[in-house]
Structure formats: C-alpha cells, structure tokens
Structure 1
Amino acid sequence: MGQTLVGILLNAAMHGGVPRLRTGQESLANYEEAAAAYGLTPCFVKLSDIDTQSGFSRVYMKTGTQGYRTHIVPTPQIIHNRAIYDPHSSGIDRLVQQGIQVYNRCNRYGKDQIHALLERNKELQAALPATSSGLSGLREMMDRYPDLILKPCRGSVGNGVMRLTRSGGERWIWSYSPAGSRRSFIRPVRPDALPRALRARLAAVPYLVQERIPLAEIGGRPFDLRVTVQRGWGGAWQVTGMFAKLAAPGGFVSNIARGGEALQTSFVLERAFPGEEAARVRMSVLSLSLAVARELEQSLPGLADLGLDIGVTKQGNLYFIECNGRDQRYGFRKAGLSSVWKDSYRQPMGYARYLYEAALRMNSY
C-alpha cells in the first residue's frame, strides 16, 4: 500500500464498533488526525486478528468516503496498545518476541504493585500515603489513622472504593457505594465487630488500605489532579496536560464516572490557594508526575502513556494517589480543553514515528 502503518490495538468489543464509529471514549478522528501529522496511517486491530505465522493481520482502515473497511495488511511493526488483557495473556509477548514494538504492553497494573515500585525510590516516599493491605492491614491502620480509604488493587473508575472515618471513641463510619450506583451509603461500625459485608469485600479481592489524604477543597468538595504523562516525538517523557477532578457534593471519590466533575486546573488551584501558591503547586505537580513516570519505566517495559492522579492538601503538599495505564483522556474534553484532548492522541503517534525512525537508524548500521 505504500503507507507507514501504526497499529492501534483494541479489545474485541471496541474493535467491533469501529465500522459503526461506536468506540466509546476513543476518538477515531483524533487518531486519524494525529497519525497523519507524523506521516502515519492508523489501522485498528484486535489481538485475535494478528496472524504471527504469516505476518499479516486483518485490520480496519479508513477508505475515503466509504468509512472503515476490513483490509489484510502486513502486521504493523509499531503497535500502540489500548486494550486490556488478562495479566497472564501471552498474545502481546508473542508479538514482542517477533520483533514487533508494542508500547503500553500492559496497561492495567495493580495499585499495590505500583505503590511497591514507587516506594523503592527514597525521593518519592514522602509523596506516598501510608499504606497497608487486607483485613489485617485494615485493623492496623485503624489503630494509627482516623480516616482511611480502601481501594480494590485492580479496580477502576472508583468502583469498589470505600471509606472508614472515626467519629469518636471506638465508633467509625463506613461509607460505600454499591456496584453500578453513584449513591453513597453510610453505616456505623466498630473495629472489634466489623460488618460481615465489609469483611466479605476484603476477602473477595485484594484491597489496598491507605491513610486518607486531607485533600484541598472547593466549596466543600475535595479535588485531585489528573496528569497525562506521555512519550512523544523524541522519546522523552513530557506532561501533555492536566485537569482537576472535583468530587460530587457529599462524595469522597473524584472519578468522573462516579459523579465527579472535570474542571480546568488553573480555575481550581487559583480558588484553593492564594497568589503565587497556585503556580508553585502546579509546577510541583509537573515535577512529581515526571519523576513517577521515570521511576516506573525502570521496571515496566514498554511504558509510554500514563494518567496519574495527584492529590493536593490544603497546605499545598502533594501525594501520589494512583496510576492509570490506559488514560481515558476524555476528561480534557469535559473540562473544555479540546486542544489538549487532541494532544493526548498526538503524543503517542509522535512516539510511534520516533520508534520507526529509531528502528531505521539501527537497521542502517
């Protein structure tokens, strides 16, 4: 075809929506525009359509006014992974073994795994909340801290997150939302008689138990910052952009999918902090985010695209909250940052061009 192809690897359900332009929060138009800026042609593929024996793949590509049609093409040598697979899946490993460069090979990491990796860096330890795990860890943390957040190690978009707050003496308040609901429920509990439902949740899946950071607030609503850190043209990490996530009234999680609101960072910081403090906080968030990405790349191969949640206290102290290996990006659009939303697609395509040219230089020696 004479085109330089870049593969966009999608899960089967999203891949099936490509010809109908129904791909959820993934913007096909943004991929097309971003890839074209670097002389690339995007093709959308799922793992089962890559034939490692023949070296060809069945992909969706845009064909003029006819929309997206199926094509059989040589498997792209550079693939941007936007799919989530079981950690034990060997499909991507087989591609890498054949010399195909897949970036963001894995994009769903356990919160406990990420915390352990960052904890090894002494300079980052001050930005990590006190953390334990499981039922025994919960009891230990209840002895030490009056406010706790409980997170499933492999949960996403705030699902399964709970809060335990001491309300006086031995009395605690358990706050949680049932699966699929944005409503929060509260229930009094005692450390020596934790409810069966709470113990069952902790037994069902691994949970991280963390000291709840007293986040800065706007109108009584806590917020944190989503920072998109990516590799682009040149290969170096850079911050593409950030926006603030404001928790719903009365809520304790800021996830947009759980009722949180996406707002521009400058708007929020300038209302939470006086004068030059807002600018200082912003610059510190940039530095921390880049340090986190550089530390994680030491242990996680193929890392190139991260969404980091950074908490800011009322005193302007920063804490790393969690890492998203498949940043949803749409928060920029919801915050009115359309150009940054497009940049979050452009950077990965720039990185694909960088990898292609690096491979050409290596082959020319």
Structure 2
Amino acid sequence: MEQKLVGILLNAAAHRGVPQGRTGWESLACYEEAADAYGLTPCYLKLADIDPVSGCSAVYIKSQQGYKRVVIPIPEVIHNRAIYPSGNTGTQRLAARGVKVFNLHSRYGKDEIHRLLSLDSGLVGHLPGTDTGSGGLIRMMEQYPDLILKPRRGSIGKGIMRLRRKDKESWTLEYLHHGQRASVHIHPARLPGPLLRRVDGSSYLIQERIPLAEAGGRPFDLRVTVQRGWGGEWVVTGLFAKLAPPGGFVSNIARGGEAATASFALEQAFPARAAAHYRMSAAGLALAVARCLERGLPGLADIGLDIGVTRDGQLFFIECNGRDQRYGFIKAGLPEIWKDSYRRPMGYARYLLDGGAER
C-alpha cells in the first residue's frame, strides 16, 4: 500500500504543542499508529499556515529527530479536529479548491441539530420538548416541571442551567458559578431580567429535562462515538457512560462528571437483560441520528452523540458533538476503544485518498 499524507487540522494551541508532544488529549502517537496501519503519514497543520493561493502549507511531520516543520502541497485529505468561531470559512475554502475535508465543521448549533432531526419522523419521538426565547421559556414552564437551559453553541457543559418547579409559586434556577453549584429561587410571574435577556438573545435553547436513569443515585447519559471508516459507512466505534457528580445535573466530564463503562452504569439502573437491550438500542439510535444528520451537514464523518435512557427505558437524543472528546474512553477504562476512535478516521482518510466518494 502506497504511503500517503493525511492532514490533521488542529487549533493553534494544540498545534503549538506538537514539537513537544504536548497536545492535550489529542494523541499524536495514536494518530501515527492508526495512520501507519493504512499506509498513511499524518501531518499536523493549522489554518493560518495554509496558503490557498500557492497551494502549500507548513506542517509538522514526525522524523527520527522529532517533529520537523516543512512546507508541502496542501494534503488531499484533511481530518478537521479544530473548532473555529461561527462564521469562519477556512475549511469551506479548502473544500472549494478540491481538498477533501471531513468533519468540515466541528461545532453545530444545538437548534440546527434539533431542526434537522425533527424532520425525520422516525426520530421525533426521541427528541426532548424544545423551545426558544422568553415566550418559549414561559410555554415550557407551563408544560414541564423540570427544564434544561443550554447555550446553542456551548461545549463541555459550560453555561448549562437547570430550572425546576419548587411549588406553585416558585421555581429554582441552578447553575455552576466558578465550578461551584449555585441556585436562586424565582417567581414565574417575575422572571429575572438577566435570564430573559439570555434566552431572548438567540443564544440559549430551552429543553425538557429528561428523567435520566441513575447509577448509585447519579443521573447518567451515554456518549456514543459514531464514525465513518474504511468503506465510508457509519459504524459505532464504542460508547461509555457519563455520570453526573453527586447532587449535580451536568454529566460532562469537564464539569465534574465521571466516565464509566456503559454496561456498569446500565446494570446499576436496570436488570442485566434490559441493560444489554438499552445498550444496543442506544447504539442503533446513534446510527439513525448520524444517517439523518449527514443529509443536512456535508462532510460529517466523526461525531460523539449523547443518548439518554429514562428510568422507564425510553431513549432520547440529547446532543451532538462535532469534535468528540475521545479521552472519555480512557477515563472509562477502555483504552482499546480509545485507540479505535483514532483508527477509524484514518481508515476513512485512506478510503477518500483511494478515490472513495465523500458522503
């Protein structure tokens, strides 16, 4: 198999750390091992070093002397692992000149994802009640006793708030303040101005809070990694559970959540046979979500989906992560699946380099 280059597009901070091998949870060794299995050599680049006019880019490539910075023609295939502000068109410009960029975008608005999924009649029943704006907040408070308010473009659980009914006259708004849980009581007829400004500013989505199953009294959801590999088809690479901290409502690992195997968490909440059924059903739902999203999101190839299982066994889609934080597999004690999450995209890169059609 002919050795070819594959680009790994990183944010500037991670890219700066390549020469020292300090790229956070982006494992250069895993990229290199996975790429080698498909006859590929990874080169690490950032948007600022790509010159569409000359058709060249400065990249880092590993040599016997360490990572060497060289100038090469822009790689034919690039796996996007960077996050850019809304409105950045760098990856689209690359695609316009014929570069095959998979995961063309790595962050999508939660409202956009909800809209696309709501067009699929088979998925509507797996979507939580959702609304926007101050009018939507009032409607949702009239319909549901427990709500989650989340930034449309937030990540790792930052900015998420919980609003739940305390009694007929008051609600409790819970949030994280400098990493600590805080709360305030509010009256539905006198909603705080700062809260209304947030939800009216088109930056927040209001959703029914799903009564998640619990493991040891801790609510959890399932992170399902769904990727394209050799051949271009969607495959579930693996899944793990994210447990909220004791007394908390956000399961994100970066916000104090804990990773565990899906089997462990599900078997804490359900009998073994039911737990196995829900595990397989979550994987099936994740595949259906990926296949639906690909119709509206060009270049989609590597995503992490959060799937919730309720106490009575219903499955709900919660969130799509365009840059899946794979380190959860390590924290859940699943190192081989962690490595697989690098292998599969490199298989897809080889498929594209060999003339496979982008999906």
Task: Note whether the superposition's TM-score is higher than 0.5.
Answer: yes
Q: Offset at 1:290?
A: 0.2
In the alignment, the residues of structure 1 paired with residue 322 and residue 337 of structure 2 have an alpha-carbon distance, to the nearest angstrom, of: 18
**Identical columns (%):** 62
In the alignment, the residues of structure 2 paired with residue 24 and residue 275 of structure 1 have an alpha-carbon distance, to the nearest angstrom, of: 36
1:350 matched to 2:347? The reply is yes
Q: Offset at 1:333?
A: 0.3
In the alignment, the residues of structure 2 paired with residue 146 and residue 133 of structure 1 have an alpha-carbon distance, to the nearest angstrom, of: 17
* 1:54-203 to 2 correspondences below 5 Å: 54-64=54-64, 66-178=65-177, 181-203=178-200
Q: CA offsets per residue over residues 36-66 of structure 1, 9 Å max, x none? A: 01000000001121122222211001011x2
Check conservation: 1:134, 1:206, Cα contact below 8 A.
Answer: no
Secondary structure of the residue aligned to 1:234 is coil
Q: CA offsets per residue over residues 102-132 of structure 1, 9 Å max, x none? A: 0001010000000000000011000000000
Q: CA offsets per residue over residues 288-318 of structure 1, 9 Å max, x none? A: 0000000000010000000000000011110
Q: Indicate the residue corresponding to 2:236 in structure 1.
A: 239
Q: Which moved more, 1:245-254 or 1:165-174?
A: 165-174
In the alignment, the residues of structure 1 paired with residue 53 and residue 162 of structure 2 have an alpha-carbon distance, to the nearest angstrom, of: 50
Q: Indicate the residue corresponding to 1:211 in structure 2.
A: 208
Letter in 1 for 2:4: T
In the alignment, the residues of structure 2 paired with residue 176 and residue 86 of structure 1 have an alpha-carbon distance, to the nearest angstrom, of: 25
Secondary structure of the residue aligned to 1:48 is helix
Secondary structure of the residue aligned to 1:123 is coil
* 1:6-17 to 2 correspondences below 5 Å: 6-17=6-17
* 1:223-302 to 2 correspondences below 5 Å: 223-302=220-299
Q: Which consecutive residues of structure 2, in runs of 5 or more, have no partner in the other structure?
A: none
Letter in 2 for 1:149: I
Q: Which consecutive residues of structure 1, in runs of 5 or more, have no partner in the other structure?
A: none
Check conservation: 2:215, 2:266, Cα contact below 8 A.
Answer: no
Letter in 2 for 1:15: H
Q: CA offsets per residue over residues 239-258 of structure 1, 9 Å max, x none? A: 00000000001100100000
Letter in 2 for 1:299: G
Q: CA RMSD in A?
A: 1.4
Check conservation: 2:133, 2:202, Cα contact below 8 A.
Answer: no
Check conservation: 1:133, 1:206, Cα contact below 8 A.
Answer: no
In the alignment, the residues of structure 2 paired with residue 187 and residue 120 of structure 1 have an alpha-carbon distance, to the nearest angstrom, of: 37
Check conservation: 2:7, 2:45, Cα contact below 8 A.
Answer: yes
Q: Indicate the residue corresponding to 2:36 in structure 1.
A: 36
In the alignment, the residues of structure 2 paired with residue 94 and residue 110 of structure 1 have an alpha-carbon distance, to the nearest angstrom, of: 21
In the alignment, the residues of structure 1 paired with residue 106 and residue 272 of structure 2 have an alpha-carbon distance, to the nearest angstrom, of: 38
Check conservation: 2:216, 2:268, Cα contact below 8 A.
Answer: no
Check conservation: 1:152, 1:205, Cα contact below 8 A.
Answer: no
Q: Indicate the residue corresponding to 1:19 in structure 2.
A: 19
In the alignment, the residues of structure 1 paired with residue 264 and residue 279 of structure 2 have an alpha-carbon distance, to the nearest angstrom, of: 12
Q: Offset at 1:233?
A: 0.7
TM-score (norm 2): 0.97
Check conservation: 2:7, 2:75, Cα contact below 8 A.
Answer: yes
Q: Offset at 1:330?
A: 0.3
Q: Which moved more, 1:5-14 or 1:48-57?
A: 48-57
Q: Offset at 1:12?
A: 1.3
Letter in 2 for 1:221: R
In the alignment, the residues of structure 2 paired with residue 88 and residue 344 of structure 1 have an alpha-carbon distance, to the nearest angstrom, of: 28
Check conservation: 1:131, 1:211, Cα contact below 8 A.
Answer: yes
Residue of structure 1 aligned with 2:304, choices 285, 303, 307? 307
After TM superposition, where is structure 1 displaced by more than 6 Å over at least 4 residues in a row? none
